[in-house]
Amino acid sequence: MDVRQWIVRFSELVTADASRLTRLDSDIGDGDHGTNLDRGLRAAVAALDSDLPPGKVLMTAGRTLVSKTGGASGPLYGTALRRAGKAFGDATEVDAAGLGAALRAALEGIKELGKAEEGDKTMVDALTPAVAAYEGAAGEGLAAATRAALDGAEKGAEATVALQARKGRASYLGPRSVGHLDPGAASTVLLFRALADVAGRS
Amino acid sequence: MANVGIVLISHSRALAEGAAELARQMGVGEVSVEPAGGTEDGGLGTSIDLLEAAVRKADGGGGVVLIADLGSSVLTAKTYLEDLEEDTEVVLADAPFVEGAVAAASAAAGGADVAGVTTAAGEAYQFRKT
């Protein structure tokens, strides 16, 4: 699997869905999630050199996201990708076990930076079941595991609708945040859709 | 020993500059208080590049205390600290933005070190208004 294609596909999906992500964020946040993440990912794609090994690709994409995104999704996705990149180390190929370790490292990085846990109505609610589902299916190979992860992310994101936000701008709304899909969880679904698309191709 | 510098990180350039103006009043010309507000093009958001430049400007050799407003300001500050390679001491204070900035500038002007300025900024949470 080509991790550069993962970032490219993630960027395409976010561009296509930017207005929906921003609308979700307008409902319970500051209304810039789609535009910010789209800007950061376009810059990340532009910064990627096709000759880099997987770990370096993710580190570069992560660093660009941190510097060009502008909103909280920059440091969060940026840290996730950099931790994933670090987990790959010098590996030249992406296998199912290696990707699983990278996804786990990404999740831990996001939880550490954002101090969010499951149930806080954040991207962690989509990421946690996605990583768990991936790990459960890793033995069946990359394509099956990434499909399981996408399914986990979708279910986790959907479950944020019923939750009251305890993190981020949405937490200022209190009970009024209930009944809305968390925009970070929604973009996390796109991250995993991109992964499943790219892993399914190879 | 040089005074501790202060960097104010906000989503809004105007808010960061206004808070810096207010805090400098307490710093009596002794303390460098630098704003890092908004994105590079002046929009709402946070820029790690502006933060980096502000820290360099604020640092007179005594270290720098960061005070952030909401969400991405805090996350960007933490990400910056994780990457920090310089030898200078930079600390993110757990403090209210405006009151913490004023308290930090007063403490820094009084010659407090990084730990002292950080503590003073955090104690600003305790000033009740009613």
Question: What is the per-residue pLDDT across A24-81, written as a single tens digit (0 to 9) for each?
Answer: 999 999 899 999 999 999 999 999 987 899 999 999 999 999 999 999 999 999 999 9
Residue span of the structural domain in which B82 resides: 5-28+48-59+67-125
Of B48, B71, B82, the CB nearest to A67: B48
Domains in chain A (CATH in brackets) are 3-200 (1.25.40.340)
Q: What is the total count of domains within chain B?
A: 1
DSSP A166: -
Task: Give the global pTM.
Answer: 0.92
B104: in domain: yes
B42: in domain: no
Question: What is the per-residue pLDDT across B53-108, written as a single tens digit (0 to 9) for each?
Answer: 999 999 999 999 999 999 899 999 999 999 888 789 999 999 999 999 999 999 99
CATH number of residue B104's parent domain: 3.40.50.510
For testing the chain B interface, which of A67, A73, A76 should be mutated: the one with the most B CBs within 10 Å?
A67
ipTM here: 0.88
List all residues of chain A from 42 to 81 with a beta carbon under 8 Å from chain B. 66-67, 69-76, 78-79
Distance between A29 CA and the closest CA of chain B, angstroms:
11
B113: in domain: yes
Question: What is the per-residue pLDDT across B12-60, written as a single tens digit (0 to 9) for each?
Answer: 999 999 999 999 998 778 899 999 999 999 999 999 999 999 999 999 9
B72: in domain: yes
Which residue, chain included where needed, has tokens 């990359």? A142
Q: What is the DSSP string of chain B?
A: -PPPEEEEEES-HHHHHHHHHHHHHHTTTTS-EEEEEB-TTSSSSB-HHHHHHHHHHH-SSS-EEEEE-SHHHHHHHHHHHHH--SSS-EEE----HHHHHHHHHHHHHTT--HHHHHHHHHHGGG----
For testing the chain B interface, which of A22, A25, A30 should be mutated: the one with the most B CBs within 10 Å?
A30
B43: in domain: no
pLDDT at residue A202, rounded to an integer: 65
B95: in domain: yes
